[in-house]
Structure 1
């Protein structure tokens, strides 16, 4: 039996109880992650139990809802995450990422280095998870800052902005894809509009913001570790043949091009029912686009760099290790979201936001902001906010629904702090104190979120 409590069957007291249950459930997750250092997967499971107990829902029914949400979330994005991980691993291990970095730096003056770092992060970050991008780019940032004697944050903030913006706005990253799936948005349209939002957001929160932040926190580049490899001194385990820049960039952009191609063909009415429309509908599906890109990457970046078939199999296996935890956290976030929806919290919040004097874009952004600050996870914020925002998109057209997805993405990036793994990752890699990380990384994330929302609102005036 379903246990949904809707606005039509619940009293005001019921609504209050549901809101209190949601707040306490989120508070339990924050407490378990922040104070007790419990893994986010377990914290989300226990937070779901707290939500159910306060809402007066039987635990057996609650965990049925939780597992349904977990299964549907992993089912919709799990394969995409795995394929994206393969592409990212190939890009790193083949030397393709190094080729992109070296090419950009070789053609850039010192004055334009912040812009170059933003461009590198934007290109390399398309197929990579944020954490993988940080691990890849921060050593490059530190090395370039040391060579040029430039402040670390002058180069680091643009790189972080590029990675963060892509993580929140651009498919095939899991957050935007989850929101597209939940709100039934068009993935190609969302991708195209997401790129339009991402570019100015990166420029403002990256190179432009980096200058005052570098003066505020004057962080000097550390000495390179003894024996560390440089662009001129490749590591001993470097691939036998490094791919060209054109090949590396081509693999990075291939899934994006396929998804955009589908969106462009769909805009031409005369293609309806034609073989061209059928073909682009197939290859432009995120799963197929990433599968094609992964297979091409295995051939071009894998075999092309001299790896054996056995070596490629090992590389693919290693790429899955890094995403196991991500899959569990994303799935648990989907389970918590589904429980919020099934208990009726989603309807209560949606009705409240729909009745408030706010546009659906601002309402969706605010929902994501609250969940992001509470849980510390951009992906969990996107998953949960997408479920709660379903009533907001009722009756909206395709472009408007895509903009709601982007507004949620903007809200999911607001104020990274101590309950966010990314906060600690950035802190440790750059060697900053907690206070310095708040002054730089956390502030940058706020700027990304607000500028992203402003860009979405401006786009809403013309689409």
Structure 2
């Protein structure tokens, strides 16, 4: 059984059957699926995978002949390296903001602007624009505690609030540079970054409108209550919601743990996107040193660490807590974050084993001679690869690699920016257990796996479908050639 498609199906059966059928913990189910995929994948395919990534032949041979356990451990560790510190620090920030009353203070300020009825609109727009310069998971980590606080305040519509946060974040991540995926696409398909930012923002606002309507429907069809969790107990949130304004921290201090990481990451992202030379930005030494300091704190791991420190300072000042209690508080927060890290990393290991099976190349071979219009073809390839192996980035790279040559065709009939948008739309289909992001959204929102598959997955998929349909209409009406 060396066909990557069959290997994929085996992995799907183990994950879905293990979690839903046998009630296995997701961490175990994902690792078992990763093990099965690795066992079924011939060494030759693994070696071809590493060669396709530009690895030297000798090194590719060594990597392919590592033990299966070591390869799974490597992919597990790679995922931890990307999200481990982020999740741990975000767990501290989220719990500290809830317990100190900072989240409640922000919620009250937002309600004054939007009104309680339009609070979900505020959430979806905030998450969309924040995710343009900031890592999507970071925005979800920082905003989900606010959704919980607002859900307690309203006493209803928690699912709508949680889905609003997710909808805004995932669509900005697909369409608008300097988010990593769109930034890669504009380079691969030779599209001006300014044009992609404009078109991506317009399409993103349209698709999150669709997502918001879907979220309203899902919230009415299967209202999911705000649940107890180790990092956010309902009685604690309720007690804070009943406090007087004078008992809460000031708005400035409440915003600091979230705003500091967001602002510094934004500045660093903008600098990395637009300043390509090694020359200093200005002729003034003091300004350059100040910018260097901001860029240092703009590293996402350091930014979240500082956010966690600020959140703990606010909590300590508000509750006048002792050092021992603060240590116990951090321990509780890290226990919650640790579970998310393990599940997410296991999902990364499963996705990594699928990638090493050659699933992306197999799908590329199946679709390269398929005669259809380029926009739906770009969407189809990306969607299939994303669904098969879980990584939106791999899906983007695969689709752009297949379509890059055609994108430069003088007889294309429309601007290549529309291919970028179609690829970005395809990267939203279909999030499930092989996607590390699925587990982050699932666990931070306290949804069960079944609930996430019934809500997050269809909402994202329908937004992606809406995106490609709108892209085709725009390419027909405004070809820009």
| TM-score scaled by length of structure 1 | 0.66
| CA–CA separation in structure 2 for the residues paired with 1:456 and 1:414 | 25
Distance in 2 (CA, whole Å) between partners of 1:365 and 1:47 is 23
Assess, with a 3 A threshold, how the Cα gap between structure 1 residues 279 and 361 changes in structure 2: closer, same or farther: farther
Aligned to 1:349: 363
Q: Which residue in the other structure is 1:148 paired with?
A: none
How many correspondences in the alignment?
Answer: 408
Secondary structure of the corresponding residue to residue 340 of structure 2: helix
Whole-angstrom distance in 1 between the partners of 2:137 and 2:320: 22
| Range that drifts further, 323-332 or 452-461 | 452-461
Q: Which residue number in structure 1 is paired with residue 412 of structure 2?
A: none
User: How far apart are the structure 2 equivalents of 1:247 and 1:355?
Assistant: 58
Distance 1:303 1:414, change over 3 A: same
Partner of 1:144: 154
Residue in structure 1 matching 2:345, options 331, 335, 348: 331
Distance 1:400 1:213 in 2: 30
**What is the DSSP-based 3-state SS (H/G/I as helix, E as strand, rest coil) of the residue aligned with 1:38?**
coil
Q: Matched residue of 2:248: which SS? A: coil
State yes or no: 1:410 paired with 2:428. yes
Which residue does the alignment assign to 1:374? none
Give me the whole-angstrom Cα distance separating, in 1, the residues matched to 2:203 and 2:253. Answer: 27
Indicate how the Cα distance of structure 1 residues 329 and 196 shifts in structure 2: closer, same or farther if over 3 A, else same. farther
Counterpart-to-counterpart distance in 1, 2:336 and 2:20: 22
RMSD over equivalenced CA pairs, Å: 5.3
Match in the other structure for 2:56: none
How far, CA to CA, are the matches of 1:330 and 1:180 in structure 2? 23
**Residues 104-123 of structure 1: pairs in structure 2 closer than 5 A:** 104-109=110-115, 112-116=118-122, 118=124
CA deviation after TM superposition for structure 1 residue 388, in Å = 5.3
CA distance in 2, matches of 1:427, 1:317: 20
CA spacing shift, 1:426–1:218, aligned 2, 3 Å = same
Deviation at 1:327, TM superposition (A): 1.4
Q: Provide the C-alpha distance between the structure 1 equivalents of 2:444 and 2:352, rounded to a whole number of angstroms.
A: 29
Distance in 1, Cα, partners of 2:352 & 2:236: 50
The residue that corresponds to 1:362 in the other structure is: 379
Distance 1:446 1:292 in 2: 35
The Cα shift of 1:209 comes to 4.4
Cα offset, 1:348, TM superposition: 2.1
2:80 corresponds, among 74, 94, 106, to 74
For residues 320 and 262 of structure 2, what CA distance do their matches in structure 1 show?
Answer: 27
Structure 1 contact 414–446 (Cα < 8 Å) conserved: no
SS, match of residue 87 in structure 2: helix
- In structure 2, the residue matched to 1:251 is 257
**Is the contact between residue 111 and residue 119 of structure 2 (CA under 8 Å) also seen in structure 1?**
yes
Q: Pick closer, same or farther for the CA change 1:332–1:219 going to 2, 3 Å.
A: closer
1:10 maps to none
